[in-house]
Amino acid sequence: MVIRRLRRLRRLSLAWSTVKGRKGGFAGSFIAIVAGSAVITACGVLLESGLGTGVTPERYAGASVVLGAEQSFRLDESSEVRYSERVTLAADRVAAVAAVPGVRSAVGDVGVEVGVLGPDGAVVGGPGGFPVLGHGWSAAALAPFRMREGRVPAGAGEVVLDAALAARGRVAPGATVRLVTGSIPVSYLVVGIAAAPGNGLRRQSAVFFTDGQAAALTGRPDRVDAIGVLAEPGADPRELAGRITAAVPGVVAHTGAGRGDAEFLDVGDARSLVVETAASFGGTMVLIVVFVVASTLALSVQQRRRELALLRAIGATPRQVRGMIGAEMTLVSVAGAVAGAVPGVLLAFAMRGVFVLAGAMPPDFRLHAGPWPVLAALVLCLVSGRGAGWLVARRVARVSPVEALGDAAVEPKRLGRVRLVVGVLLLPLGLLLALGDVAAPGDSAADTAGSAVLLFVVALGCLGPVLLRGAVALFGGLLNRRSTAGGFLAQASARAGARRLSAATTPLAMGVTLAAVQVFAASTTIAGARQQFEDGLRADQVLTAAAGGGVSPAVADAVRGVPGVAVVTPVARTQVLLTFPSEDSTATKAFAAQGVAPERLAETMDLGVTRGDLAQLRGEAVALSRTAARTVGARLGGTVDLRLGDGTAIQPRVVAIYEHGLGFGDVVLPNDLVVAHTTARADAAVLIRSAAGADPQALRAAVERYPTVWMGGPEAFLAAPGAGGSGDWALNLLFQTVLLGYIAIAVVNTLVMATAARVREFAALRLIGAGPGQVRAMMDGEARIVVFTALLFGLLATAAPLAGISRGLTGSPVPSISLAGLAAIVAVTVALAWGATRMATRHALRSSARGV
């Protein structure tokens, strides 16, 4: 054991000497590991924060335990899908919870969004744009609120305001305040002002009604949003939570910081989204680190061919060579992982800022930067670096001493047979996935086509040197004039060093492919959605709500009787879950949904129905977009397993299939069904089609009776609540940007290492009469070849996937190309290749030809 440890220490000492003597050769691997460690650390910080922090509870701060319903649909033991609406509990559970030993009292809490009108009629909002919520007075004990002035509400027409809200609205006890619930303004007598504990309410404002009035305003007097538990003195909250869940089935207990999840649904949504995305992206980054480090290390080992060949020739065994490279990578990996820790923490906070700006995370969601993400990044980078070293050392260690000396003399011209066959076979397979009708159950045609890009990326990696030689043979004369010394040298160097040059060209082409698919798929989706929206929206007026929980169904009923109004279509928005057969089991996916009234729907909203009839959209019926129907395998006249926004399971019959799913959502349900299962029990918008020659003033006068309802043009429908998405796109865009940035680092590393290692070649050229300008011209010519080849094959690799994505989304195989996005991709490619080459060339030319 002691001898083995001494050998390891000797090996590490030798590796340290090698690393110090060849800093340039290991710089690329070091930088790649530093960047990888930073990204993995950032993902770890996000993951740890999503699992353990969140937002401090406010109104539930005094409750030992908060009970709610299950707010997620479990896909399996490790993943879930969040319901978009609050799932409520039966009110009779309050008594059952109160009977559990250790519970001093149990309070059922309900919340209804309220609009508060100031003396001037303007809406008085919550702090920072957060809502004003109405509750029963008994729930004030869960904070607990302290009565500062006046008394508790005793009648249906009396309310108590929290102190901050009363100050903003300039309201005192004895005054009358108008509150809007369900778009209807009602006057209430303010009988008291209550002060919240601690620093007050930061994420909401509170209005307290009598318990009976609050329950009536929700429209569901037999349901509660949550149950707050005040424990007996000395009771442990976690133990009490366990006793309650054992005695009262169907409740989920929250203690500590988890109480904020029950109080604020957006916190739980953000937590679930961040945990899932950070975990999956962190795992992907580990694989990317292995690939990039192996690529840079392979180039470094290739530059050390003479050294390794000499070691093999003087008797070094394959095991010793593998051990040396492994020890070198251990030192580089540990140093890189430690160096990337602090930038990783900073990157996590920067990513949090982007999530907040995109609406994917609440602004007060806290990050916790503990030691575990740093340690995890250290272990993963060490394993990745050692794995990359093992992959690279395998070939070097297998070669006999004689072959090693031969390999050191010249670069091998042929690719390995397996690598070549794999690269060729991936091309038709990618075309089949992108353009063939082979989507598996649960995957749309666009998803399948999008996944085909990975096959083309791998094919680029396998066939990189072959593609580069072909590009040089076909386009070398156009890129570099052979009549000039620089052009001649660039072409000759590219042909002789295709392997070396492709080491930089291939990852650059991969980055071009991934970036182009992301940018152009997004531009195709946006353009398709905009076109479908413009073609399908027939309404000339749209009603939306500024506050108060949406547009009440009563508003739609009222405007139907206005002279000149031809058609009124209330629209409620939500998210539903569809469960469908997938291989040997079932799968569940979330889809954007809306609830509409079917009467004369085509006059306000044309969904592009291809089969069926939307007039049958009543009761438990559903219409699906072509994409959704194909994804879940639904047929006209059949049924689907669907969960509404609050988790209610139904099996509606498919009455229509339509084309405009991008513009209006993939699922359409009856309006009354959706409204009954949303948190606010209200519409997001009301579409109005006026008769020819109608007087708009009559409609405007009718709407003025509802102070929180606004009337606008068709563009207001896009700004209505529920139209902005969940923020998933922001997460995907950010993570793809980080991934592409890491690939850019790999490209720069490779170019710098490959160019800096050509000092002998540059010196030889200088000795035979080439001037520095001619050497720089040669490297500029090589940079042109790298840029052109990367753009050519990178963009060609996107053609089939983008055609498949466009056909799956819009029905047309022609994608929408963003010229600004294309220009940005070209500019970044040129900047990376030319900038890295110029920088490394300047450094390599500093060596004097006489000193070699």
Q: Read off the pLDDT of residues 644-682 as tens digits, 9 standing for 90 and up.
A: 999 999 999 999 999 999 889 999 999 999 999 999 899
Average pLDDT over residues 532-539: 91
Place of tokens 């490959």: 754
* Residue 65: strand pairing partners: 229
pLDDT of residue 849: 46
pLDDT digit string (tens) for 435-478? 877 655 545 667 777 778 888 888 888 888 888 888 888 887 77
**How far is Cα 123 from Cα 547, in angstroms, rounded to an integer?**
8
* Residue 350: partners with Cβ closer than 8 Å, 6 or more residues away: none
Residue 56 pLDDT > 70, yes or no?
yes
C-alpha 198/C-alpha 515 separation (Å) is 48
Helices (H), 609-712: 626-632, 661-664, 671-675, 696-703
Does residue 760 surpass a pLDDT of 90?
A: no
Calculate mean pLDDT across residues 107-117.
92
Backbone angles phi, psi at 238, to 5 degrees: -70, -45
- Do the beta carbons of residue 797 and residue 460 sit within 8 Å? yes
Q: Count of H helices and E strands in the chain?
A: 27, 27
The pLDDT of residue 852: 46
Burial of 432 (0-12, 13-18, 19+ CB in 10 A): middle
Query: pTM for this structure?
Result: 0.81
The per-residue pLDDT for 807 is: 86
Cα 118 to Cα 120: distance, rounded to the nearest angstrom: 5
C-alpha–C-alpha distance, residues 215 and 219, integer Å: 7
pLDDT score for 13: 63
Least confident among 172-181, 557-566, 630-639, 832-841: 832-841
Residue 117 confidence (pLDDT)? 87
Which conformational region is residue 128 in: left (phi greater than 0), alpha (psi within -120 to 50 degrees), or beta?
A: left
Longest dimension (CA), the chain: 102
Buried b (16+ CB within 10 A) or exposed e, 23-46: eebbbbbbbbbbbbbbbbbbbbbb
Q: Which residues of 73-85 are buried (b: 16+ CB within 10 A; e: fewer)?
A: beeeeeebbbbbb
Supply the pLDDT for residue 188: 96
R_g of the chain, CA atoms, integer Å: 33
Alpha-carbon distance values, 223 to 76, 108, 438, 623, 727 (Å): 28, 9, 46, 30, 30
Tell me what the mean pLDDT of segment 131-135 comes to.
Answer: 93
State both tokens at 283. 């795992």
Burial 802-833 (b: 16+ CB within 10 A, else e): bbbbbbbbbeeeebbebeebbeebeebbbebb
The answer to whether residues 193 and 119 touch, using CB atoms and an 8 Å cutoff, is no
pLDDT value for 246: 95
**Which residue shows structure tokens 């593998």?**
322
Does the pLDDT value for residue 534 go beyond 70?
A: yes
- Lowest-confidence pick of 265-269, 687-691, 804-808: 265-269
Mean pLDDT for the stretch of residues 217-236 = 94
**pLDDT for 75 beyond 90:** no
Give residue 721's pLDDT: 60
Tell me the pLDDT tens digit for each residue of 22-47. Answer: 666 677 778 888 888 888 898 889 88
111 burial type by CB count under 10 A (0-12 exposed, 13-18 middle, 19+ buried): buried
Q: How far apart are CA 215 and CA 222, in angstroms?
A: 8
Mean predicted lDDT score pLDDT of the chain: 84
CA distance linking residue 806 with residue 814, whole number of Å = 6
**Tokens for 740?**
């592409």
Tokens of residue 753, six digits: 């290492």
Least confident of 279-283, 567-571, 643-647, 848-852: 848-852
What one-letter code names the amino acid at 605? M
Over residues 577-586, the mean pLDDT reads 85
- CA distance linking residue 724 with residue 824, whole number of Å: 26
* Residue-wise pLDDT tens digits, 362-412: 887 888 888 888 998 888 888 877 777 776 677 666 666 665 555 544 555
134 neighbors 207 (Cβ within 8 angstroms): yes
| CB distance 132 to 207 below 8 Å | yes
pLDDT exceeding 90 applies to what percent of the chain?
A: 35
Question: In angstroms, rounded to a whole number, what is the distance separating the alpha carbons of residues 430 and 482?
Answer: 37
> What is the average pLDDT across 164-168?
91
Q: Which residues, listed in sequence order, are joined to residue 515 by a DSSP beta bridge?
A: none
**Phi and psi torsions of 63, nearest 5°:** -85, 135
For residue 357, what pLDDT is reported? 80
Residue range 748-755: average pLDDT? 75
Do 270 and 361 meet the contact criterion of CB atoms below 8 Å apart? yes
**In sequence order, what are the beta bridge partners of 176?**
189
Nearest CA to 497 among 290, 779, 749? 779
pLDDT digit string (tens) for 307-362?
Answer: 777 777 777 777 777 778 778 888 888 888 899 999 999 988 988 888 888 777 78
What percent of the chain has pLDDT above 70? 87
* pLDDT > 70? residue 536: yes
Phi-psi region of 548 (alpha: psi -120 to 50; beta: other; left: phi over 0): left
pLDDT value at residue 732: 67
Q: What is the pLDDT of residues 783-803, one digit of tens each?
A: 888 889 999 999 999 999 999
Residue count (the chain) = 852
DSSP state at residue 537? B
